[in-house]
Structure 1
Amino acid sequence: MSRTRYNNIDNVSTDKTLKQFGQWREERRRKRKDYSYVIPSSQPQIDFLQQNREESTVTWIGHSTFLIQYQGLNIVTDPVWAARMGFQRRLADPGIAIADLPPIDVILLSHSHYDHMHVSSIRRLYSVATTIVVPIGLGRKMRRKGFHRVLEMSWWEQLQIGKVLISFVPTQHWTRRTLFDTNTSHWGGYVLEPTEFEPDQKPQVIYFAGDSGYFRGFAEIGQRFNIDIALLPIGAYEPEWFMTSQHTTPEEALQAFVDVKGKLMIPMHYGTFRLADDTAREALDRLEQDRKQRGISEEQIKILFHGETLRLPY
């Protein structure tokens, strides 16, 4: 039986040839990189996070993993507490130990790549009260692994959990877990909006971009939603000729921030795993240089430490 294969907007391909992989490997051999910079860790506010059901917060665990407390729900994005990714050890410990998290109500998966979907981490987070939200095509795989409360979403679809409206929005990427399932599930990001609020106390709208190359979809997201906080990827972009269709550079991430019309950007997807040839220091330096060139204020970019909690509104 043929399986559905999902595509990007405008059918942009992320496929690479064996020759291109070989070229990257040769380039990597000639590079000399300084990986000594490690993203600092902040003492996590464990007691507060375990008890909090009132305030909106964003806590960076590492890579694309966040604990988001929003409208009374504890939400985790792309859970990965793995100590290594393939043959590469994790560059920094998770900002909060998985055992120290509050009970998780919702898990949001942007796509099925191993650095965004670590099944062992999900098993530890999952309980009778947890709902897993996944891109279309991924639900069957998750149910086979024993997760029964799984909801699938297609681009631009919405669902409500508690007092949170969740929208699944496009990204430009791809996915694979095995040699035979390339692009048999989709990929995307999520927008969180409140469904109930006092007129003078509207919670801020949060956009989690997942994993993406730069594409015109960011502008459409900015047209459809009134985004306050944008969690955007800035790492795994080098070599750019190889990664450009699937990962934004720091400069492209800032352009995406402009496109979605966000008020505050939180960078992610850097400094946790060595997925490409760039370093965390390079990504942050390029981000800062481009911020200055664009005239974006320092207050609009919030660089979180691992384990650091941002209380909203900020």
Structure 2
Amino acid sequence: MTRKRYGNLDGIQNKHGFAEVRRWRRERKQKKKDLSYVVPQAANKQIAWLSANRSASSITWIGHATFLIQINGCNILTDPVWAKRMGLEKRLSEPGLRLDQLPPIDVVLISHGHYDHLDIGTLKRLPGSPVYLVPEGLGRLLTRRGFTHVHEFVWWEKMSDKGCTFTFVPAQHWVRRGLWDMNTSHWGGWVVQAENAPSVYFVGDTGYFRGFTEIGKRFAIDTVLMPIGAYEPEWFMQTAHINPEDAVKAFCELHAQTCIPMHYGAFRLADDTAAEALNRFTTAWNEQNLSTDRLRVLQLGETWQPSM
């Protein structure tokens, strides 16, 4: 039986042949990168407060694309990955919280099936009995491994649970976990809304695309969790990984209030470093004359409480 293959808006494809991969590898060998910068851990982590919190909205960066989001008593995890390695590469920074420091999780949001966003070993160790919200085509991967309460979504589909509404929105990316499953599940981001609470847009993994404008029109977004890393070399990565300057551009198109950068400093997925990604992002932010009050660069394990 032929499995469905998923795609991007406007038919944008992310196909690279063996010759292009070889070119990237050759270029990488010629680059000398300073890998000494490590994303710092927060000095005063609010572990006890997070466990007791049942009312306040909060966002805690665990690392990479993993956040603990608390809204109206609902504990949400995005793309949970506590893995110590990604392929042959060792994790560059420890997660901001240990798994045993998490409160019971109600909802897990998965953006797509790449290993740095979906780690089965981590999911098996999560506290609580969460509901798993995943892109269409990905549910079978979880149910075959014994996970229950798994719901698949197509773009713009929404569901309400635990007092929150979750909407799956487009992204520009691709996915593969094995030799024969190229793009057999979809990818996207998540918008989380709740009554009398700030809304959160978890972008997931994406290149820059026109979907940001449409998402900004459909939702009144308070906080954006925006990827800024894994973009170099740009001739290879640009369709799948947004660069820092385009991340700022996308934020402006979303008309959101606050931006939290993510997707840097945990794994060496491309040739850029965490320091380079942050420096380029903050430079672009300042060049757009955006207020520094609207930018929250979190340390690992740091908790920020947004307001409406």
* Percent sequence identity over aligned pairs: 50
Which residue does 1:179 correspond to in 2?
179
The one-letter amino acid paired with 2:275 is: R
Number of aligned residue pairs: give it. 307
Corresponding residue to 2:266 among 242, 266, 272: 272
Aligned to 2:50, the other structure's residue is in SS state helix
Corresponding residue to 2:221 among 212, 223, 227: 227
Which residue does 1:284 correspond to in 2?
278
Which residue does 1:117 correspond to in 2?
118
Counterpart Cα distance in 2 of 1:255 and 1:247: 14
Which residue does 1:257 correspond to in 2?
251
The one-letter amino acid paired with 1:93 is: E
1:247 paired with 2:241, answer yes
1:176-195 Cα deviation digits (max 9, x unpaired): 1111111000000000111x
Aligned to 1:27, the other structure's residue is in SS state helix
Once superposed, which parts of structure 1, at least 4 consecutive aligned residues long, lie more than 4 Å away?
Answer: none
Which residue does 2:206 correspond to in 1?
212
| TM-score using structure 1 length | 0.96
| TM-score using structure 2 length | 0.98
Aligned to 2:124, the other structure's residue is in SS state helix
Which residue does 2:33 correspond to in 1?
33
Counterpart Cα distance in 2 of 1:265 and 1:303: 8
Which residue does 1:89 correspond to in 2?
90
1:170-228 Cα deviation digits (max 9, x unpaired): 0000101111111000000000111x3xxxxx211100000000000000000000001
State the shift of 1:312 in Å: 2.0
Which residue does 1:52 correspond to in 2?
53
Structure 2 portions without partners, runs of 5+ = none
Aligned to 1:125, the other structure's residue is in SS state coil
Counterpart Cα distance in 2 of 1:312 and 1:290: 23
Aligned to 1:69, the other structure's residue is in SS state strand
Which residue does 2:70 correspond to in 1?
69
1:271-313 Cα deviation digits (max 9, x unpaired): 1100000001101111111111111111111100000000121
Counterpart Cα distance in 1 of 2:307 and 2:82: 28
Does the 8 A contact of 2:102 with 2:127 survive in 1? Answer: no
Structure 1 portions without partners, runs of 5+ = 197-201
Which residue does 2:137 correspond to in 1?
137
1:39-82 Cα deviation digits (max 9, x unpaired): 11013211000111110000000000000001211000000000
Which residue does 1:7 correspond to in 2?
7
- The within-5 A match list for 1:159-198 is 159-194=159-194, 196=195
Aligned to 1:124, the other structure's residue is in SS state coil
Aligned to 2:239, the other structure's residue is in SS state coil
The one-letter amino acid paired with 1:157 is: E
Does the 8 A contact of 1:90 with 1:272 survive in 2? Answer: yes
